[in-house]
A and B are shown apart, each in its own frame.
Chain A
Amino acid sequence: MEAIKGLFNLVADPRLFFLLSVVALVLIVWKREAFAKLSVGYGLMGFLTAFFLFGLFDENFVLIIAKPDNVPIVALIFLVVFFTWYSMREAVLNDQRVAAGEDVIEKQESDRVWVWPDLVYTELIALVLCSAVLVVWSIALEAPIEQPANPANTPNPSKAPWYFLGLQEMLVYFDPWLAGVVLPSLIIVGLMAIPYIDTNPKGNGYYTFNERKAEITIFLFGFVILWSSLIVLGTFLRGPNWNFFGPFEYWDVHKLEALNNVQLSEYLWVRGAGTALPDNILVREGVGILLSLAYVTVLPVLLAKTVLKRYYEKMGPTRFYVGAFLFLMMLSLPIKMFSRWLVNLKYVVSIPEWFFNI
């Protein structure tokens, strides 16, 4: 029992958690035909159910899972897993049909349906069900009145609303102006830009994977791993002082984590060259600045000429560079996470004098 809990606590460590998520994504994409099997779907849902049932016997687990605010996030886990699996299964089935020279499933259905009953009736049913669920929710998960917020006595941990927990997680790795301003803006701009970047008409109106391999993989990485699972992590696994706690661990405010992180400039000058940090800020941070600039300017060009040449030719320069820029910004989060975990890198560019850190 304790060993199983210990295992889960270990796996839930953000480093391992993230790594395993990425591995899982690779496996899902790579072995999608196996993943799409009904048995895998049942197995996944069964495993999740078993996990939560198992957890109900643990005091600390229940404390955090059964908190009324958190219960919907449990539902979110089930929903995200289910729909990821379901869409992948539908896509695999269609791809198999296409490979066998048949039409996709959606083609066989009529492309026009009656407003009544098909549209209005289903809308009514949805309305009724949503109302009922909201009523049950408000009765079963109580939201008691508390005292007015006191800025002199903030809760520990202070958590953002659930849908922002992914952003809050970014604050661990980035300066607030990046994690709180630049990256969220780019997420919104990027989502708006998608229809203009991705003009591939294939896959419209039916499930497919083979025809949109890169797009779907990027989406799964961005949404399931960088967004949804960071919400789950922020809800259940971040405790007092924003320290990480395993799902079966007691949230002790005294738990400590050594945040011994090092700037890139320190790596270069103090540890590498064995000298003190230069006084001139630009000299001190020069390499970091160049690296950062190269990341968004040189790297896309290199990619266009080498590994992504095919895409460059297909998309044209504007689409390609905008897309590559957004993609690289997305990737900057895992890159920063890994460089923190592997080499304790604090900032690539650190100019506290100007309140500027990357």
Chain B
Amino acid sequence: MANKKSVGHAYNVDFLNVVFAASSLFLFFTTIWMVFDDFDREWKGYQRQFVLLEGYVTSLSLQAAQAGIDQDRLQQLNAERAAAEQELAANGQRVAELESQLADVEADFYLANQQYNFLKADYDVERYAYEELQEEHPEEAAELRPAIDDMYDRWVELGMRVEELVARRDDLRAQIGEFTGGVADADDEIGELTAEATRLAALVEDLQVDFVGDVLLNAPLLDFMAPSLTVQQTITPNVHDELNFIRFQKMDRCRTCHIAIDREGYEAYPQPYTTHPRLETYVGSASPHPLATTGCTVCHEGMGQSIGFVHSSHTPETEEQMHAWEEQYGWEVPHLWDYPMLPTDMTEASCAKCHTETVYVDEAENLNLAYGLYERAGCYACHTTTGFTDLRKPGPNLTKIASKLSPEWVSSWIRDPREVKPSTWMPRVWYNSNTSSPEDAVRNEVEIDAAVAYLFANSEEHDFAVLFPPRGNAERGQELVESVGCLACHITEDQDRLAAGTRRTFGQPLQNIGNKTSYEWLFDWVRDPTHFSSETYMPDLRLTNREAADIATYLSTLTGPDGRGAEATYDDGEVTAVLLDYVRSILPTAEAEELVGGMSLDEQRIDLGQRVIGRYGCFSCHEIAGFEGAQPIGIELSEEGSKLLPRLDFAFVHDIPHTKVEWFKQKMRDPRAFDRNRVLQPLEKLRMPDFEMSEEESKLFATAIMSFQSDVQPLAAKPPRSARNDALRDGRNLVRRRNCIGCHEIEEDGGDYVALVDDPSLAPPMLTPQGAKVKPDWMYAFLQGPIPIRPWLDVRMPSFGLDDAHWNGVIDYFGAISDTVGEFRTHDILSAAAVPREGEELFDLLRCQQCHVLDTIPADQPTDNLAPDLRMARERLQPDWIVDWLRAPLEIQPGTRMPMFWTDFPASPYPQLDSDGPRQLEAIRDYLLTFEGGPSPIRGN
């Protein structure tokens, strides 16, 4: 271009100035915004708030501490101090003189001590030089030797001087102390009296908001130096997260907001400031799960490293809470972390992560309840689950069904079990949410009839023990059922199964049993359950034939509705069609048609029945001929709680939050729900049966499932494997799986029977201290052949017929509870003559025989006052335990009627043996042990 123009402007500079000004302002304000945004972080707000709360709470406890000071004592001490001060003032001149001397001595001592230390350092240097030279050039070293020795001597000399000065100093101090001692003692005592108040006062002072510490250092832009508002994190050495097959320590920053979680005194304040509700078990530094090593998220789950409410994956407990959180925090379903927090009432699911040494976890009430339900519902039968293997099939044995039930009854029962027995755990297999349309009815009926046909066609004969059983008295039968102990495992009335509890639904609910089966069968069963089914868990109550007849007569009067009738009729062609549908799923159509065509209608029905039972997995819960060794139909659940969300298919169910917990709950509420709106062939449909769980039940089952976690935590996080822990695990399993805790309270669980009797003393005893109390050989004999300990009780200890391995397990379990497992303890049994006379005196004085049986049952006492025959003590009780029991019965067994005679132990209100409590106890014990001839399981009563 030839016509080059002069240099010009591409932009209007005035305009640029305006743009520059505007963009500078923009940058200025965004910078302010940035600083403010950092200043305004959620957690900083909580911490600022907490500073004020902490000051307030501390000043409250200061007030309490001040009010708690003994004012009289304080006045007295102050007076003493004033007197001592006067005395000191009187000797003022002498004290001043001594103090001046002390000052001189201390100055000398300081100097001497310094020289002493310096010389030692110099000496060490020289000595090393000498030693080294000695090694390299011994001839030169010899010259140095005298100088070294000289240094050493001087050093020793200085040491002596230091010692002398110390002695003089201490002497002077002691002399001064004689004059000032009174004041110092008074000060000490006053200090001790007001220590807590003084400490708190200093703390309150410290917590006052001050300009530098609380304002300046936390000010925007200055808070990079040493802010007092900081992220609080716990890195847990032994509790791990697993990601990408790598395990690393958890980093929990929850305490950044939940700042007082491990401190007492904030129980009354709302989240996030509140104290952990169970500080003695969790988080507290003295608890078994201290914050510093356990952290938070191993139990609660959630994203520990996050410090925002939403991102840390809080999970609401209820829908209302969810909506409230959406309003307040902009909460949304967590998707940044695979393991969002558990709703607080499901947190116990996490116990199982580390407590792999046991199934039932001590104190985890919700979890144990959930596991109990898991067993009752028989989930483990279809779904293999670690911890729940080797259990019996949860349903009754069906191999002899024809002798017990009629086909009609079975049809209406399986059509809808809860129509017949509202409390049953038997689920409904047909007519569920995906098989309830009118088109499904025919197929449902065909399948039901086929399954029933198969069961009856394969039923064995049953040999009734008594061919023509006598009839009994229904009223007496009812009394027996209500008194001997049947109700510990069975309910007879319509009751919500969750309210009835896991223990009382251990046996089949007895509602409607009169409709179900014949009098002959009931008699045969009640008389001896193992005669019908050798593997039954129903124990033997040692009923006479007469009692069995009474009970059977009573049970046949328990009748109720007939259940749901058939909802469709069909012709024979339908059976063939359904069977063909089944067979075609495994064989080519031509072969299938040939196979089915070669069968008679009855054969078709029975063959279909077998396939139906196989498909729905009836054999998982029931013993059924032809299915021995068949694999359970459900997926394994041992690590289901660790499953990742994308592995769970929500299909078209959009009305629940898409979280794991909600998926499991939905599956419990309606196991077929995820078929909703889907077009499926009959054999493609979901087939888990419907337990018709309530909201509460579905939550508990979800808790159980969430507790089935993959094993990630390192050994150091877990309680150690030990013989004692194994005994505890096996024992806890056994007492639940045989329903011992239906009658007996053990380890603060169970003991439902107490609610069924008029007075707690008429119920089966609490057994927690049994290991310390009873001798193992006696216990073994008793379990093998129980004898009445308290003959006035109606309820009976049944005979369980377990093998030695189980009984030894029970004995070890009780030993493990009291930590006395495997201990043999010698105790000399004194002859009556050798026992001090005072034993008998005290025995009479305390009137033990007023309640305790001694051969004869005291006649004038109400039954709830009676206590066991003392003649059994010698064989039955551990001598050490008798002493403990006499001393403080309420500590061992809360609620016992045994009086506590030594309220001021070891002092004693009784004059015998110089009022020496321990000796008195032993004397009584020794006297008791001389009794002989009581009932005994060892000698066969």
Contacts and interface: CB of A to CB of B under 8 A. Distances in A.
B19 A152 contact: no
B244 A150 contact: yes
B601 interface: no
A146 B646 contact: no
A152 B13 CA distance: 59
Given A125-B16, A128-B27, A145-B305, A118 B4 contact: no
Interface residues of B, number: 37
B306 A144 contact: yes
Interface in B254-273: none
Interface in B1-33: 1, 4-11, 13, 16, 19-20, 23-24, 26-27, 30-31, 33
A202 to B, nearest CB: 14
6 contacts: A111-B5, A118-B11, A124-B20, A128-B27, A139-B30, A254-B652
Interface in A127-167: 128-129, 131-132, 135-136, 138-139, 144-153, 156
A84 B427 CA distance: 67
Tell me whether chain B's interface is mostly helix, strand or loop, or mixed.
loop
Interface in A99-137: 107, 109-114, 117-118, 121-122, 124-125, 128-129, 131-132, 135-136
B711 interface: no
A121 B7 contact: no
Interface of B: 1, 4-11, 13, 16, 19-20, 23-24, 26-27, 30-31, 33-34, 37, 243-245, 303, 305-306, 308, 311, 336-338, 644, 646, 651-652
Contact of A113 (B8, B26, B651): B8
B308 A144 contact: yes
| Most-contacted residue by chain A among B23, B34, B305 (CB, 10 A) | B23
A121 B9 contact: no
Contacts of A254: 651-652
Given A156-B646, A254-B651, A114 B30 contact: no
Nearest to A252: B652
A136 B9 contact: no
B398 to A, nearest CB: 39
Nearest to A113: B10
B26 A125 contact: no
A248 B937 CA distance: 80
Given A144-B311, A145-B311, A114 B244 contact: no
A150 B24 CA distance: 44
Given A109-B8, A113-B9, 7 more contacts: A110-B8, A110-B9, A128-B20, A132-B23, A132-B27, A153-B644, A254-B651
Contacts of B10: 109-110, 113, 118
B1 A111 contact: yes
Contacts of B34: 135, 138-139
B308 to A, nearest CB: 7
| Most-contacted residue by chain A among B8, B31, B245, B652 (CB, 10 A) | B8
B338 A147 contact: yes
A146 B336 contact: yes
B243 A147 contact: yes
A60 to B, nearest CB: 12
Instruction: Pick the 4 closest A-B CB pairs, nearest first.
Output: A110-B8, A132-B27, A113-B10, A135-B30
B23 A152 contact: no
A141 B540 CA distance: 71
A110 B644 CA distance: 66
B27 A131 contact: yes
Nearest to A254: B651
A138 B11 CA distance: 31
Contact of B30 (A136, A147, A149): A136
Given A111-B5, A145-B306, A153 B24 contact: no
B441 to A, nearest CB: 29
A141 to B, nearest CB: 13
Contacts of A112: 4-8
B416 to A, nearest CB: 32
Contacts of A107: 1
B30 A132 contact: yes
Contacts of B30: 132, 135-136, 139
A119 to B, nearest CB: 9
A245 B1 CA distance: 55
B9 to A, nearest CB: 6
A125 B27 contact: no
Contacts of A109: 8, 10
Given A110-B6, A112-B8, A156-B646, A149 B244 contact: yes
Given A114-B9, A129-B26, A148 B243 contact: yes
A124 B27 CA distance: 12
Contacts of A128: 20, 23-24, 26-27
A114 B336 CA distance: 52
A149 B5 CA distance: 60
Interface string A158-185: 0000000000000000000000000000
Contacts of B305: 145
Contacts of A135: 27, 30-31, 33-34
A128 B31 CA distance: 11
A53 to B, nearest CB: 22
Interface string A80-111: 00000000000000000000000000010111
Interface string A188-201: 00000000000000
Contacts of A136: 30, 33
Nearest to B13: A117
A150 B7 CA distance: 61
A219 to B, nearest CB: 26
B26 A122 contact: no
B13 A111 contact: no
Contacts of A139: 30, 33-34, 37
Contacts of B4: 111-112
A117 B6 CA distance: 16
Given A145-B311, A147-B303, A122 B23 contact: no
A110 B7 contact: yes
Nearest to A253: B646
B3 to A, nearest CB: 9
Interface string A251-268: 001100000000000000
Given A112-B8, A118-B10, A139-B33, A151 B244 contact: yes
B817 to A, nearest CB: 41
A311 B303 CA distance: 63
A138 B31 CA distance: 12
A125 B306 CA distance: 37
Contact of A148 (B7, B19, B37, B244): B244
Interface string A32-65: 0000000000000000000000000000000000
A145 B23 CA distance: 31
A147 B34 CA distance: 26
Nearest to B242: A150
Contacts of B646: 153, 156, 253
Contacts of A125: 16, 19-20, 23
A149 B11 CA distance: 50
A146 B312 CA distance: 10
Given A135-B30, A146-B336, A110 B24 contact: no
Nearest to A121: B16
